[in-house]
């Protein structure tokens, strides 16, 4: 077996917090360890110089020590969760479900934040020295120039963000359910399809990309998040949070939704109901009214309605079902 892709990436280095935990033929599994959780990267060698990697992370943040392995470009697709990135200007942007990013991995070292504490997706990487020759040899009818794609999407080493794209999402959806018996061949066909779709994209039609936010504002919003999730018994207004953070209400709403994927009240409602679900099981001595009060509801009926809206059942039914299990 040709180990070029693994050897090249090893030479570049994923970092001291990433370790190989399994390897089998054209596949290897890497584990990233951090105090806030861990993550697994399942990497497949598809062609010489081309890899596909499933990313499954359950952590709040980590430090990336990745060193650029002379990559022409990488394609990242987010299936679930959110991940924060920083551009060359120090601004923050966020990938969410359905988003696709193309970049050269120039700005990939440093702190990585997962606002929802989980992220699942796929990365497809092309190594400059061998990927193009490999495609010409293995798929001679595929007239795709990786260098041209890199210049098209990542001029001056900038990243390209693509909001939900139906055609691309269909292909990635199929990759998440690749048949085991012919997995590598399946990857090869789908990567060729993705490259053709990328070649056909007019980047000027996607001038409205996901917004970038100053690091100072995202830091303030994260402080607000820490406050409201630690004081679940209190209901803050956006105006109060604006006064506390110094971020204007309109900006606070916009940045909070960008970081956490939902408006402040909607996010907090779901957060409280998940906390309620845990209390219903772990603190059985508390009645529904007690839990409602702990979460800032002075009316048990309103709390029950909110719980049913988020969890699909009433608090009492939820507790009863868990007791029967």
Structural domains of the chain ordered from first start: 4-206 (2.60.120.280), 215-324 (1.10.10.60)
3-state secondary structure of 218: helix
| Separation CA 72–CA 149 (nearest Å) | 9
Q: pTM (2 decimals)?
A: 0.87
pLDDT over threshold 70, residue 31: yes
pLDDT attached to residue 2: 47
pLDDT tens for 107-155 read 666 788 999 999 999 999 999 778 999 999 999 999 999 999 999 999 9
Q: What is the mean pLDDT of the chain?
A: 90
pLDDT attached to residue 226: 96
| Separation CA 311–CA 86 (nearest Å) | 34
Q: Which of 82-86, 264-268, 311-315 has the lowest mean pLDDT?
A: 82-86
- As given in the structure block, the two tokens for residue 77 are 């697709």
pLDDT average, residue stretch 254-268? 96
Q: Which of these, 195, 77, 207, 106, lies nearest to 147 by C-alpha position?
A: 195
pLDDT over threshold 50, residue 305: yes
- The strand ranges marked E within 151-299 are 160-162
| Separation CA 80–CA 96 (nearest Å) | 7
Do 160 and 101 contact (CB within 8 A), yes or no? yes
């Amino acid at each position: 077996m040709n180990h070029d892709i693994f050897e090249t990436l090893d030479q570049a280095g994923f970092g001291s917090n990433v370790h190989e935990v399994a390897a089998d033929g054209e596949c290897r599994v890497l584990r990233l360890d951090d105090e806030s959780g861990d993550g697994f990267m399942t990497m497949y060698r598809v062609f010489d110089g081309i890899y596909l990697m499933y990313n499954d992370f359950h952590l709040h943040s980590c430090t990336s020590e990745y060193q650029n392995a002379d990559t022409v470009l990488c394609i990242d697709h987010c299936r679930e969760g959110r991940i924060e990135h920083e551009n060359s200007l120090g601004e923050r942007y966020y990938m969410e479900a359905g988003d696709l990013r193309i970049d050269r991995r120039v700005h990939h070292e440093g702190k990585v934040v997962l606002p929802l504490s989980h992220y699942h997706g796929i990365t497809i990487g092309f190594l400059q020295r061998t990927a193009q020759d490999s495609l010409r040899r293995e798929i001679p009818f595929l007239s795709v120039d990786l260098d041209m794609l890199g210049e098209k999407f990542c001029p001056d080493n900038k990243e390209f963000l693509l909001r939900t794209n139906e055609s691309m999402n269909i292909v990635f959806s199929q990759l998440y359910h690749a048949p085991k018996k012919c997995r590598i061949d399946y990857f090869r066909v789908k990567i060729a399809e993705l490259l053709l779709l990328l070649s056909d994209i007019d980047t000027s039609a996607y001038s409205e990309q996901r917004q970038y936010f100053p690091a100072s504002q995202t830091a303030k919003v994260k402080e607000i998040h820490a406050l409201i999730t630690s004081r679940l018994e209190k209901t803050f207004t956006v105006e109060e949070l604006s006064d506390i953070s110094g971020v204007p209400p309109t900006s606070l709403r916009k940045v909070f939704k960008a970081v956490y994927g939902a408006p402040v009240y909607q996010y907090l409602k779901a957060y409280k109901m998940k906390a309620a679900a845990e209390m219903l099981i772990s603190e059985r001595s508390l009645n529904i009214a007690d839990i409602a009060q702990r979460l800032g509801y002075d009316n048990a009926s309103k709390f029950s309605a909110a719980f049913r809206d988020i969890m699909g059942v009433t608090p009492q039914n939820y507790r009863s079902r868990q007791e029967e299990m």
